Amino acid sequence: MTIRLLALVLTVLLTAATGAAAPAQPQSGGAAVVALGGDPETLNLGITTGYAVGAVAASIYSGLVWIDARGDFQPDLATAWTVSPDQLTYTFTLRQNVKWHDGRPFGAADVKYTMDEITGKHHGRFRTAYANFESVSVRSPTQVVIRLRRPYAPLLRLLTVFDSPILARHLYEGQDPTRSPRNNEPVGTGPFKFREWARGDRVVLERNPDYWNPVYLDRLIFRIIPNAALRVTALEVGEVDQVMDFYLPKTDVDRLRRNPAIRIRLGQPIPSMGFLFINTRRAPLDNVKVRQALAMAINRVQIVTQAMGNLARPARGPFGDGFRWAFSPEADYNRLYPLSVERANALLDEAGVLRGAGGERPVRLRLVYDSARAPLVAAAAIIRDNLRAVGITVELQPMDRAVMIERVYTRADYEITLQTFTSGGDPAIGYHRIYASAPPGTPFVNATGYSNAEVDRLLQQAAEVADQTARSRLYAEVGKILARDVPTLVLFDEIGVDAARTSLRGVWTGAEARDRWDAVWIQK
């Protein structure tokens, strides 16, 4: 038997064994339905890092680049770019003949305006990088130059649609971008145009016929399904085509993996973590010993096992373990905060938070979380029971995501809250905003009120240095401080699980499950 014939036989046998078919050609037409747990708080991706906002608006807007499933940069609105040897000047050549969805031409002036007036001021992740900008200048309608005051190592990673969406200057100029009516009827340059938003039910996008790349779907529909069990049922019966990790109950994954009509992507291309944020502005949580006691009392392994269905790893430090080079044994939770009710009680006593006659301590913590996130609902119940064992009363306060964001980030009206954050591919992009000093009011930025000048200095240096060994030393130093102060308790490192109907093809082309819906098509 020849090698070629043997290969053919093996291919046939493998196909028969796995049920795999030869790659089919993309087909145009139809609508894909994606489940969300709640309404987006806005459709302006330039002013928030909200997950639901990104899920919808990433297909409406565009960034300068996008990142594929291998982690490589690909051209989007920018077709080419160069970086100066000193890492201070980035020059981007823009795609020609791009139109906004209203027919107006896109150009470099839109890039400059967006960065200077919208994302640089209001976007929780981009504004951290923008603090390093010297200028954004227009060299020509198809060329824009970013000059930095000091290097910012992960800048290119921050120029995707999720962190630097480009908005239309002609629609936003002269307005407050946080209050513009365009936030509810967005106009972008992306593969899909906004069609309608029926709050509490759906957001509908339709194909952009002028997009620079082929777009196969006629429509992209986001269905609002607050109940986690109903989201999974809708996927199983074919009423929705995809449930992304953020909205997928982890305890249902084993059943879904056995369903031949459903495809699972297991793994987290971009490190992400689950946090317990502690409002350090409120007594007795302003006492570091009380925060350390919480770290001793909360069972991270139980949360991973029962709430996450073992699709996570118990967290070991302030930056997790997704970036191994940023992990420091000196900040290891397993060493500093092993589960110990006895030691937690001792710390609470030392802090003067003493038990009363009935055994309870004079501490009542409101635990705020997104009611649509099944893993967080389960984790909240575990935390309540864990803290009851040390005499602390926890009041569970599940709420709609938009209400939760306002309570936590705008009003700081909580004691503890459950949140999950993506790193954006670099600790400086996703995690610095959690720990660095910042005034209140920006969604997903420093909810705890924690402020430490040495932490700020080390984080700034870590963002500037390109050499990974040097960055590792800086993160080791800042990690020790954060692990000691515990403004947040990292609960777990996520192992992402996305689920889609097998008829939905071309999914997960990008590192982000929410990205590149222009490549998606339905096999009929």
Tell me the DSSP string of 200-240.
TTEEEEEE-TT-SS----SEEEEEE---HHHHHHHHHHTS-
* Shared domain check, 46 and 147: no
Structure tokens at 172: 């936003």
Residue 149 located in a structural domain: yes
Q: Does 93 reside within a domain?
A: yes
Give the length of the chain: 524
Return the pLDDT at 13.
36
The answer to whether 443 and 48 are in contact (CB under 8 A) is yes
Residues 369, 55, 69: CA angle, nearest 5 degrees: 110
Asked whether residue 144 falls in the same domain as residue 245, the answer is no
Q: Percent of the chain scored above 90 by pLDDT?
A: 91
Domain stops at, among 119, 139, 170 = 170
DSSP secondary structure, 363-426, as one string? -EEEEEEETT-HHHHHHHHHHHHHHHTTT-EEEEEEE-HHHHHIIIIIS---SEEEEEEE-TTS
pLDDT value, residue 473: 96
- Apex 421 CA angle, 417 and 426, nearest 5: 145
pLDDT digits (tens, 9 = 90+) for 346-391: 999 999 999 998 899 999 999 999 999 999 999 999 999 999 999 9
Q: Half-sphere exposure (CA, 13 Å, Cβ side) for 486?
A: 23
Q: Quick count: other Cβ atoms within 10 Å of Cβ 402?
A: 16
Assess whether 297 and 442 both reside in one domain. Answer: yes
Rounded to a whole number, what is the distance in angstroms from the first to the last CA of the chain? Answer: 37
The pLDDT score that the predictor gives to residue 268 is 74
Is the same domain home to 152 and 200? no
**pLDDT for the residue 440:** 86
Which of 189, 214, 182 lies closest to 106, judged by CA?
189
Q: Is the pLDDT of residue 327 over 80?
A: yes
DSSP string, 73-126: EEESSEEEEEE-TTS-EEEEEEPTT-B-TTSPBP-HHHHHHIIIIIIHHH-TTH
Q: Is residue 300 part of a domain?
A: yes
For the residues 494-503, what does the mean pLDDT come to?
95
- Let me know whether 54 and 69 are in one domain: no
For residue 424, the enclosing domain spans 272-494
Q: How many domains does the chain have?
A: 3
Distance CA 92, CA 364 (A): 53
- Report the b/e string of 504-515 with b at 16+ CB within 10 A: bbbbbbbbbbbb
> Tens digit of pLDDT for each residue in 113-146?
999 999 999 999 999 899 999 999 999 999 999 9
Same domain, 39 and 65: no
Q: Which of 321, 249, 275 is nearest to 433 (CA)?
A: 275
pTM for the predicted model, two decimal places? 0.88
Same domain, 196 and 334: no
Same domain, 53 and 68: no
Tokens 């029962």 locate to 306
- What's the average model confidence in pLDDT over 177-196? 96
Confidence (pLDDT) at 495: 92
User: Model confidence over 90-116: pLDDT tens digits?
Assistant: 999 999 999 999 999 999 999 999 999
Lowest mean pLDDT among 17-21, 50-54, 244-248: 17-21
How much is the mean pLDDT over the chain?
93
Strand-pair partners of 219: 31, 206
pLDDT at 22 over 70: no
Q: Does residue 164 lie in a domain region? A: yes
Four-residue CA torsion sign, 83, 85, 87, 88: negative
Is residue 16 a part of any domain in this protein? no
Neighbours of 210 (CB within 10 A): 15
What value does the mean pLDDT take over residues 393-415? 96
- 3-class DSSP state of 259: coil
Residue type, 409: Y
Max Cα–Cα distance, the chain, nearest Å = 85
Coil, strand or helix: which one is 143?
A: strand
Q: Is residue 4 very low, low, confident or very high in pLDDT (cuts 50, 70, 90)? A: very low
CATH number of the domain that residue 251 is part of: 3.40.190.10
375 with 429, same domain?
Answer: yes
Residue that is written with structure tokens 């009011």 in the block: 441
CATH code: domain of residue 88 = 3.90.76.10
Instruction: Tell me the C-alpha to C-alpha distance, in Å, between residue 421 and each of 398, 491, 493.
Output: 18, 12, 10
The pair phi, psi for residue 211, each rounded to 5°, is -65, 150
Q: For position 237, what pLDDT does the model report?
A: 97
Burial of 422 (0-12, 13-18, 19+ CB in 10 A): buried
Q: What is the pLDDT of residue 267?
A: 85
In angstroms, rounded to a whole number, what is the distance separating the alpha carbons of residues 59 and 42? Answer: 14
pLDDT at position 23, please? 58
Residue 1, pLDDT > 80, answer no
Q: Which DSSP helix (H) or strand (E) runs through 348?
A: helix 341-350
Round to whole Å and give the CA distance between 146 and 356. Answer: 60
- pLDDT for residue 269: 78
Q: What is the mean pLDDT of residues 397-412?
A: 95
Characterize 337-362 residue by residue with b for buried, 16 or more Cβ atoms within 10 angstroms of its Cβ, and e for exposed: bebeeebbbebbeebebeeeeeeebe
Give the mean model confidence (pLDDT) for residues 147-159: 94
Residue 175: inside a domain = no
Domain assignment of residue 10, yes or no: no
Report the distance separating Cα 69 and Cα 496, nearest Å.
Answer: 14
Same domain, 305 and 418: yes
Same-domain pairing of 45 and 154: no
Structure tokens at 187: 């106009």
Find out whether 315 and 492 touch, Cβ atoms under 8 Å.
yes
Tell me, yes or no, whether 2 lies in a domain.
Answer: no
Q: Which helix (H) or strand (E) holds 3?
A: helix 3-18
- CATH number of domain containing 366: 3.10.105.10
Asked whether residue 253 falls in the same domain as residue 292, the answer is no
Quote the pLDDT of residue 472.
95
Q: Is 19's pLDDT higher than 80?
A: no
